[in-house]
Structure 1
């Protein structure tokens, strides 16, 4: 039996945090011309935001569906998979179709319609049409693994034994670093990210290895829901929040880790897991409250649309004429505001109505509402 009752209730700080993770990815794709090299590298390291999203998906999905999949995974799987489809596919399909038509309807399309591009060895296929969409292809695979992972973790006894849970989490982190060490050894260390045998291909794009990020999120949710006694002190988790952020920022600023095998996954996954868990554990800290304001939460809710459209607007950014550093900064802010405005519009006018309509097609009076607002990208 679980050591403590299942925790319920919304965790708005995690929704708010989504917006800042999406900003990390945005700035990694749109550097400010003329900026200091070290600062530029720091912003370019925002590709690590993708790792955050994979960990967050594991946490939120487990937190939502933990009790149902622990007791009866088979009967709950169809409704769960449909909910995932309704949450992600409308915006995914709309943005991919827009780019496809923009390009004159040329080239392969089935691999993108089925969200299978991340399995392809060619990086130009993986990032084809709408570049950021490759991670949605990974997410689709991770969604399919969840009904298998949770019963497996249950059989391993981590629902009942906190020591086993922590041990498994440490083993996963060890495996991530071991994979990074192996793929950073000669001759792979000299391979370009476009090479199918590169660390970038295996650690960043390949869905199978991203199960480790997803699993860390699931384990964090199980810890939060089942292994934390009522009345436990929140102050240590406050320190863990800031320490996790410090680790992430330090890795992003590291010249040696930038574009290294470690940066694709291992150097960030553990810190992101602790950050997510600590914000869930301590929802009264200044950081949690700042991330839980209505405006930030709303932007977090629209961050999936933001993520999916920000690269589609790249021609607008590329058309800018050379200017002073101040002009470049101002233009960057205007461009960011444009993407945010469009993403809010898509979220309100397309994402939410489509999700509600599709969910309503198979709605049931017996459907149990999730514990928290869905916060996948």
Structure 2
């Protein structure tokens, strides 16, 4: 069967909008991270949980989009659709990372100027595939899976989740899926509470501890999102986009819980947010409806830029973080530049969306028609 015969279903507009809200919070989190001495004193302290929110959203949307199509859709067609949706911006994110790499020279990465162009380009081409680079190609020194564009690590686990869904989990009954989600939730709680840092931050390195974090952060939210969709029984919620956006902002901006003396308390908070609060937010958002043209436009715009801004913003953040570190600039002085960085990230995402992502996906769909 041709993949073009599988028409896209209508989106949940509020979920699209929330994805954009969370993506903007990620950018703000990374801006503030440049000024923090540790995760204990960082503003927008729990912005890292946006990744887990994205995983939960993905699981819900994958269930909605594909659960009822497997009688007429092959596994190969599913993978083609997911690649067409995600891979063009993965490639663009790596290209932007390569273009800006030599502008990121800093005390944080003092050997960037010594990296030969051929090696940087090799890392870029490997990044196009999302295959993690080996330690010998760690051209930044932060042990990232993708040194040119750090957030690529979460797309790596997103693909793994999609593979597990297509090959196995799509066939699970609600009971089997519930057991999987329960076990994954237990693993996530154990990770959060026993973490030496009192959080679930991590997943971007190719070493056992970080791989463990990556899988724990992906398994529960993705398949909990799938289970949430299969549970159904939505209710009508008024002003859902406003209230759900506020809840997302509050949960991600919450100050550190427990301080340095009781790190495990913050682990409890991380667990509660991912296991309880995020599913509740998505349930409420999926139950809501857009009642005005303005809200509809906001949700569409936020949804459109959410993925592009997430996958393209970090090369700009590298430059900002290096600048702050080199000159030891407090946020009060860097505020105008931080606003410029935020606006630049949004503008870059929008340009990539309109001039690259949409046309490329349309071209690929046409070629595969």
CA distance in 2, matches of 1:67, 1:90: 26
For 1:90, the equivalent position in structure 2 comes to 88
* Post-superposition offset of 1:292: 4.0
- Cα distance change on mapping 1:83 and 1:118 into 2, 3 Å: farther
From 197, 201, 225, give the equivalent of 1:217: 225
The residue correspondences of 1:9-24 to structure 2 (distance < 5 A) are: 9-24=10-25
For 2:131, the equivalent position in structure 1 comes to 116
Backbone CA RMSD of aligned residues:
4.2
The farther-off stretch of 325-334 and 312-321 is 312-321
For 2:79, the equivalent position in structure 1 comes to 81
For the Cα contact (< 8 Å) 1:29–1:44, is it kept in 2?
A: no
CA distance in 2, matches of 1:322, 1:171: 45
2:145 pairs with 1:126:
yes
The gaps in structure 1 that reach 5 residues or longer are: 1-7, 159-163, 364-377
* Post-superposition offset of 1:341: 0.9
Q: Scaled by the length of structure 1, what TM-score is found?
A: 0.71
For the Cα contact (< 8 Å) 1:244–1:274, is it kept in 2?
A: no
For 1:4, the equivalent position in structure 2 comes to none
CA distance in 2, matches of 1:362, 1:62: 24
For 2:314, the equivalent position in structure 1 comes to 311
CA distance in 2, matches of 1:80, 1:35: 42
2:171 pairs with 1:152:
yes
CA distance in 1, matches of 2:61, 2:134: 24
- Cα distance change on mapping 1:319 and 1:168 into 2, 3 Å: closer
For 1:26, the equivalent position in structure 2 comes to 27
1:70-125 Cα distance to aligned partner (Å, 9 max, x none)? x45xx432222111111111121122134346562315536523313299899614
CA distance in 2, matches of 1:142, 1:33: 31
Q: SS at the partner of 2:42?
A: helix
CA distance in 1, matches of 2:249, 2:88: 36
2:345 pairs with 1:339:
yes
* Post-superposition offset of 1:140: 1.4
1:35-84 Cα distance to aligned partner (Å, 9 max, x none)? 89999524142111111111111111111112113x45xx4322221111
From 202, 205, 220, give the equivalent of 2:212: 202
For the Cα contact (< 8 Å) 1:177–1:262, is it kept in 2?
A: yes
CA distance in 1, matches of 2:247, 2:27: 21
CA distance in 2, matches of 1:80, 1:22: 25
For 1:330, the equivalent position in structure 2 comes to 336
For 1:106, the equivalent position in structure 2 comes to 119
2:162 pairs with 1:143:
yes
For 1:350, the equivalent position in structure 2 comes to 356
1:338-371 Cα distance to aligned partner (Å, 9 max, x none)? 11111101110001111111122222xxxxxxxx
